[in-house]
Structure 1
Amino acid sequence: MQEGDYTFQLMVTDSSMQQSTAVVTVTVQPASNRPPVAVAGPDKELVFPVESTMLDGSRSRDDQGIVLYHWEHVRGPSTVEMENTDRAIATVSGLQVGTHHFQLTVTDRQGLSSTATLTVVVRKENNSPPRAQAGGHHVLVLPNNCITLDGSKSIDDQGVVSYLWVRDGQSPAAGDVIDGSDHSATLQLTNLVEGIYKFRLRVIDRQGASDTDTATVEVRPDPRKSGLVELILQVGVGQLAEQQKDTLVRQLAALLNVLDTDIKVQKIQAHSDLSTVIVFYVQSGPPFKVLKAADVVQNLHRQLAKEKADFLLFKVLRIDTAGCLLKCSGHGHCDPITKRCVCSQLWMENLIQRYIQDGESNCEWSIFYVTALALTLLVLMGGLPWLCIYCCKRRKRTKIRKKTKYTILDNIDDQERMELRPKFGIKHRSTEHNSSLMVSESEFDSDQDTIFSRERMERENPKVSMNGSLRNGASFSCCSKDR
């Protein structure tokens, strides 16, 4: 309704259709509006550092109601950030040390407005640095590979606002942090391996002061390490039930066939999608004693070879010691994956022991000596045939040289004379100028052999005289080799 007079008439009718009317007048006069009153609230004094603070102008008032609020930062460090500046309550963050002035403007329905100023003083208070406490030294014995380091005992006069755990660079890389706990007061670790770990804890207070402390975790080897056996079965780890595990333990105990033994399963984990690793040790007693893993593995291999392939519930893919226990003869190290020795330079495995005897990997042979022996055998094998051939030829030549033939040279024709000449180029006197009785094929016979030959001829033929003539008057000469 606008300013002025308004007249309204009312007519009423009853059941007999009788009517009556009345008139009323309404006068609208000009309004009397008062300006609003802005209230920004009392001044504030804060201690640095300040995350945020609230500016409350909700106590501002107006006779007809406030329709608009507006906050602004009018003076002070310029790092201030404001939110909800068009509402009665605004949020301020990023306050630095100093004095900040904020102004509130409110407006009513008639467009009248009012302002108010709020002062926020941020001061720096004397702060003591925090004191970090990481927990000190811890000892962990495998197979327990999990630990929690507690840094919650770190203290500060204004409270610790940040924790950070950092692994030392010389510590083993193995080991996992659970659920990002390296940014919390307690550090949770799992899958630790043998070695010494160092973790440095850094704590920070509200004013940015910090302190550090170091916690040490010593992971010692499993005292049963030499007795741990690793059995890999062809079954998914999710398909192996507790009842089946108990049955496998009983079957393994039956295979070992050793009195007063107890199989202790230490760990069951997935090896692949279709295989499972069971780590166990065999304990005998009392008195309780852990059997050597190598003996247990050898016994199981021998017994499984005698039994049927389906003796166990699942197919056995491999049985081996869980840890690599080989000494490698002091010339290498044992590969924990393949359970074989990795030899140092200039050393190699003893192949005879590896593949013929006990089959244990080693590093006993020096490559230098093996190479020298191989070359020696090669030379001997290559020279032996030549030596045999040479000896055979020399023996044959010796037999030919020692063979002597005699024949009467008189009364033979030229063709027969040529055939009876020695084969090795032995020079003889021409048969045309002597009357020798016989010719020798060997030119190496000694003079003594020639004399013995003459004496033997005289004894066998008395008609032959020592001067080479026949007793009946026919002369002859004995042919000897040329000197």
Structure 2
Amino acid sequence: MQAGDYTFQLTVTDSIRQRSTAEVIVIVQLENNSPPIAVTGPDKELTFPVESTILDGSKSIDDQGIVYYHWENISGPSAVQMENVDKAVATVTSLRVGSYHFQLTVKDHQGLSSTATLSVVVKEENNSPPHAHAGGKHILLLPNNSIALDGSWSTDDQGIVSYLWLRDGQSPAAGDVIHGSDHEAVLQLTNLVEGIYTFHLKVTDAKGESDTDTATIEVRPDPKKNGLVELILEVGVGQLTEQQKDTLVRQLAMLLNVLDSDIKVQRIQAYSDISTAIVFYVQNGHISKVVKASVVTRMLHVQLLKEKADFLLFKVLRVDTAACLLKCSGHGHCDPITKRCICYQLWMENLLHLYLNDGESNCEWSILYVTVSAFTLIVFTVALAWLCICCCKRKRTKIRKKTKYTILDNIDDQEKMELRPKYGIKHRSTEHNSSLMVSESEFDSDQDTIFSREKIERENPKDIMNGSIRNGVSFSYGSKDR
């Protein structure tokens, strides 16, 4: 209907066709419509970082009802993103530090509209640096070689976004980080060895602020270390069953003459692909005292030599102390693999102690002292030998030479030639009488005679009887001249 006056007539008729009429006037006037009112609520003040915020225009009113909503960003950083802009409630994301103004427009069914503005201010937060808490000092007693360092007690006003565990450069390199936990709140470590470990925890918040704290792990030796015995068997670690392990324990108890309950197996681990290491100790059941590993090892060596090779369930490859217990005389360190001493420079093993005593490796001898002692012994030996030789020579010169005779019977020509006097002297009788024996004293006297005649010839050439003797004329000495 349009605005105006309307007249409507009503006619009624009965059964005998009697009628009656009546009129009604309807006046249609223009309505009194009010425009809508847009309402956005109070302005907002947010702290960065903030992910999103809500723009609420649902409290806008109109006497006839609102049929249209629209949100838009009229000022502020343009990187902002808006969702549901044509609804009463919209969402704004990707806010940055700065001031924003959002405008809401509402309309009724007659097109009357209204607008309102909402101010959103994003401020820089007052960030406090985080506080790291690594867990302090821990004491670990072997054979337990695993531990977890809890850094989850670290705090920050806006929340911690990253954890980082770092091993100190002076800490032992042994020990494994499992499950990548060095980037998590809780650090999990295993396979630690004896020593002092230091780990630094660094925590960082969303603003890049960080803090560092330190945790210390002191791994102490096993109190049963001196009693641990390592038995190497020729069997794969995966092939050794629990039942076979119990049988081995009973067999060892028989060898050591103890109860099987006194043998405590500490661990079983692979030694190689085909061998298994069983580490155990023997405990005295009466006073709960651990027997020294060296004593147990020596007893097993003796007993295994007495018994057959197949006395134990598997072949024994080696029996030794699990830890190297040698002191090395303070001049070396013990090799944990070979169980022998590695001496420092200028030190060596005492060979007498090693091979003639108990066979225990050591570092007792100084190489300098050994060298000096060996040199002194060599000089003394040489001097003694030289003295003996000199004494023997003196004795020989004082002893008178014995007269030696040679029987010239039954000798060949070669031997005769060898037995003739030296210096060209011919013995006439040897050529005619083979039974004549000539002594060395005679040869000496012949030589003296030759030298004396030559002297007389030089001094008194005129006194020589039976002819003259001149230089260059050979002199023949015969038996008649004697």
TM range (shorter): 0.5 to 0.7
Partner of 2:194: 194
Shift of 1:393: 3.9
Please give the per-residue CA displacement for 1:295-337, whole angstroms capped at 9, x wherever unaligned.
Answer: 1111111111111111112222211111111111121111222
Please give the per-residue CA displacement for 1:131-181, whole angstroms capped at 9, x wherever unaligned.
Answer: 222222221111111111112222222222222222222222211112111
Partner of 1:185: 185
Secondary structure in 2 aligned to 1:251?
A: helix
Would the alpha carbon gap of residues 261 and 240 (structure 1) be closer, same or farther in structure 2, given more than 3 Å must change?
closer
Structure 2 unaligned segments of length 5 or more: list them. Answer: 1-41, 59-71, 104-116, 404-421, 423-439, 442-482
Matches within 5 A, 1:281-292: 281-292=281-292
Please give the per-residue CA displacement for 1:249-279, whole angstroms capped at 9, x wherever unaligned.
Answer: 1111111124687111111111222221111
Secondary structure in 2 aligned to 1:202?
A: strand
The answer to whether the 8 Å contact 1:255/1:300 transfers is yes
Answering whether residue 98 of structure 2 is matched by residue 98 of structure 1, we say yes
Shift of 1:294: 0.7
Answering whether residue 246 of structure 2 is matched by residue 234 of structure 1, we say no
The answer to whether the 8 Å contact 1:261/1:284 transfers is no
Would the alpha carbon gap of residues 327 and 55 (structure 1) be closer, same or farther in structure 2, given more than 3 Å must change?
same
TM-score by length of 1: 0.62
Answering whether residue 220 of structure 2 is matched by residue 214 of structure 1, we say no
Partner of 2:276: 276
Partner of 2:17: none
Please give the per-residue CA displacement for 1:191-240, whole angstroms capped at 9, x wherever unaligned.
Answer: 11112222222222333333222222221111111111111222221111
Partner of 1:265: 265
Secondary structure in 2 aligned to 1:188?
A: strand
Partner AA of 1:179 in structure 2: H
Matches within 5 A, 1:79-228: 96-99=96-99, 121-228=121-228
Matches within 5 A, 1:35-50: 46-50=46-50
Partner AA of 1:313 in structure 2: L
Structure 1 unaligned segments of length 5 or more: list them. Answer: 1-41, 60-70, 104-116, 404-422, 424-440, 443-483
What count of residue pairs does the alignment treat as equivalent? 386
Matches within 5 A, 1:12-27: none
Partner AA of 2:198 in structure 1: K
Answering whether residue 329 of structure 2 is matched by residue 349 of structure 1, we say no
Would the alpha carbon gap of residues 73 and 273 (structure 1) be closer, same or farther in structure 2, given more than 3 Å must change?
farther
Partner AA of 1:122 in structure 2: V
CA distance in 2, matches of 1:281, 1:317: 18
CA distance in 1, matches of 2:381, 2:251: 54
Partner AA of 1:292 in structure 2: K
Partner AA of 2:97 in structure 1: V
The answer to whether the 8 Å contact 2:76/2:98 transfers is no
The answer to whether the 8 Å contact 1:260/1:285 transfers is no
CA distance in 1, matches of 2:250, 2:316: 15
Partner of 1:244: 244
CA distance in 1, matches of 2:299, 2:128: 67
Partner of 1:304: 304
The answer to whether the 8 Å contact 1:261/1:282 transfers is no
CA distance in 1, matches of 2:364, 2:166: 44
Identity %: 70
Shift of 1:388: 5.0
Shift of 1:73: 12
Would the alpha carbon gap of residues 210 and 371 (structure 1) be closer, same or farther in structure 2, given more than 3 Å must change?
same
Partner of 1:12: none
Partner of 1:374: 374
Would the alpha carbon gap of residues 337 and 83 (structure 1) be closer, same or farther in structure 2, given more than 3 Å must change?
farther
Partner of 1:448: none
CA distance in 1, matches of 2:375, 2:299: 41
CA distance in 1, matches of 2:102, 2:169: 51
Shift of 1:280: 1.0
Would the alpha carbon gap of residues 224 and 130 (structure 1) be closer, same or farther in structure 2, given more than 3 Å must change?
same
Shift of 1:381: 5.2
Would the alpha carbon gap of residues 399 and 378 (structure 1) be closer, same or farther in structure 2, given more than 3 Å must change?
same
Secondary structure in 2 aligned to 1:126?
A: coil
CA distance in 1, matches of 2:187, 2:371: 56
Please give the per-residue CA displacement for 1:414-434, whole angstroms capped at 9, x wherever unaligned.
Answer: xxxxxxxxx9xxxxxxxxxxx
Shift of 1:53: 4.9
CA distance in 1, matches of 2:394, 2:220: 75
Would the alpha carbon gap of residues 158 and 274 (structure 1) be closer, same or farther in structure 2, given more than 3 Å must change?
same
Partner AA of 2:213 in structure 1: D
Would the alpha carbon gap of residues 100 and 348 (structure 1) be closer, same or farther in structure 2, given more than 3 Å must change?
farther
Would the alpha carbon gap of residues 387 and 73 (structure 1) be closer, same or farther in structure 2, given more than 3 Å must change?
farther
Partner of 1:324: 324
Larger mean CA deviation between 383-392 and 334-343 belongs to 383-392
CA distance in 1, matches of 2:399, 2:343: 58
CA RMSD of aligned residues (A): 5.5
CA distance in 2, matches of 1:283, 1:167: 38
Answering whether residue 333 of structure 2 is matched by residue 333 of structure 1, we say yes
CA distance in 2, matches of 1:295, 1:90: 81
CA distance in 2, matches of 1:188, 1:285: 37
Partner of 1:14: none
Shift of 1:367: 1.0
Secondary structure in 1 aligned to 2:238?
A: helix
The answer to whether the 8 Å contact 1:48/1:207 transfers is no
Would the alpha carbon gap of residues 82 and 277 (structure 1) be closer, same or farther in structure 2, given more than 3 Å must change?
farther
CA distance in 1, matches of 2:80, 2:358: 79
Partner of 1:314: 314
